[in-house]
Amino acid sequence: MIKHIKNPTAIESQGNKPKLIEEFIGRINTETQDISVARMKCPAGWIEPGQTPVFDEYTVVLQGLLIVKTGDKVIDVKAGESVIVEKGEWVQYSTPTDQGAEYIAICIPAFSTDAVHRDKK
């Protein structure tokens, strides 16, 4: 079987500012449970709550700078670079620079709000 996905589905974001999440493949747009592929467009100064997901996340930064903070590291991921965060690792993403960031996030298994385990506020 072949599935042609012509348009992503916009998904509501978490964080101090709205970011655009466009899910191309995943639980919402294609009812795919095994993997999700989404494009994120984050404004300057965006930060999301910390989380301890039960999925592996593979991120490729297309534009700007994405800060990836874990329990013991802070990594600057620039355009053309990538980062892998394994399931069970506490992580927090942010885009503190004036240009924000655009990136592709791939989650295995697919992202879900039940599987992200965001920090309690």
Q: What is the pLDDT of residues 7-50, one digit of tens each?
A: 999 998 889 999 999 999 999 999 999 999 999 999 999 999 99
Residue 12, amino acid: E
Distance between CA atoms of residues 85 and 58, nearest Å: 7
The answer to whether residue 121 scores a pLDDT higher than 90 is no
Our count of domains for the chain comes to 1
Is 43 contained in some domain?
yes
Name the one residue in this structure whose structure tokens are 């534009």: 63
Task: Note the maximum CA span of the chain.
Answer: 44
Is 81 contained in some domain?
yes
What CATH number is associated with residue 104? Answer: 2.60.120.10
Give the E-state strand segments of 1-121 in sequence order: 9-11, 20-25, 36-42, 46-47, 56-70, 74-78, 82-85, 91-95, 101-108
Q: Which residues form the domain of 96?
A: 9-116
Is 121 contained in some domain?
no
β-bridge mates for residue 46, sequence order = 95
Residue 113: predicted pLDDT: 86
pLDDT (tens digit, 9 = 90+) per residue, 60-95? Answer: 999 999 999 999 999 999 999 999 999 999 999 999
